[in-house]
Chain A
Amino acid sequence: QVQLVESGGGLVKPGGSLRLSCAASGLTFSDYYMTWIRQAPGKGLDWVSYISNSGRTIYYADSVKGRFTISRDNAKNSLYLQMNSLRVEDSAIYYCARVFSNFFDYWGQGTLVTVSS
């Protein structure tokens, strides 16, 4: 079965950096587009970034453009999100999800990022 496992979250000061990882199993990772979605504590879902199966096509939400970088390593079945210049408002649970057709059919359990001084 498809499994997505995020890691790399933690507590960081404003202006700091974190790199999130998402390890995929149970799927041919290189066949699928992937996405990051976040959820601030007690809030709704917020799309963050999207990468094609080859990694050549990438999109970002305006709120993170220029600060976050999505990437993938198909040989390692892994998705990444490099987050720089972090702000308090970036505090959230970050989920990776598989893009199938135009919807998100499998999600990881999430990793919590807290930005606080």
Chain B
Amino acid sequence: EIVLTQSPDFQSVTPKEKVTITCRASQSIDRSLHWYQQKPDQSPKLLIKYASQSFSGVPSRFSGSGSGTDFTLTINGLEPEDAATYYCHQSSTLPHSSFGQGTKLEIK
């Protein structure tokens, strides 16, 4: 089983700040890594697919990078509505995929 470890678990940030969330896989997953945003009391929404490809309609301040075992989600110019928990997801072993534990972003 591939384990995804996100860091940090929690981050308190101010608007307009640049935020970086990392996701490390326990073994190489090439670029089969996707990012989701889950706002309170909502279902998750796809942000980034295949490590760096933005999903339709996602604001350009969200970007992703990485390959192999180390991946990054970056939010350039944080907005108040970005308060959410962010999850990475690997599909290298689809259908048996796995998620990171989540990173909760609080806006100060």
Q: Which positions in A face B, CB cutoff 8 Å?
A: 35, 44-47, 50, 59, 61, 95, 101-110
Contacts and interface: CB of A to CB of B under 8 A. Distances in A.
Interface stretch (B17-25, B66-74, B76-84, B96-104): B96-104
Nearest to B102: A44
A103 B42 CA distance: 19
A35 B89 contact: no
Nearest to B42: A109
Most buried by B among A59, A102, A107: A102
A103 B47 CA distance: 11
Contact of A47 (B43, B50, B97): B97
A50 B95 contact: yes
Given A44-B101, A45-B87, A109-B43, A103 B96 contact: no
Which 8 A-B residue pairings sit nearest by Cβ, starting from the closest? A102-B91, A50-B95, A59-B95, A107-B43, A45-B99, A103-B34, A44-B102, A103-B49
Most buried by A among B49, B94, B101: B94
13 contacts: A44-B87, A45-B102, A102-B34, A102-B94, A102-B97, A103-B34, A103-B89, A103-B91, A104-B44, A104-B89, A105-B49, A107-B43, A107-B45
Nearest to A105: B46
B55 interface: yes
Interface in B28-65: 32, 34, 36, 42-46, 49-50, 55
A45 B43 CA distance: 10
Contacts of B97: 47, 102
Nearest to B100: A44
Nearest to A108: B43
Given A45-B99, A104-B44, 19 more contacts: A35-B95, A45-B44, A46-B99, A47-B98, A59-B96, A95-B43, A101-B49, A102-B32, A102-B97, A103-B46, A103-B91, A104-B34, A104-B46, A105-B49, A106-B46, A107-B43, A107-B45, A109-B42, A110-B43
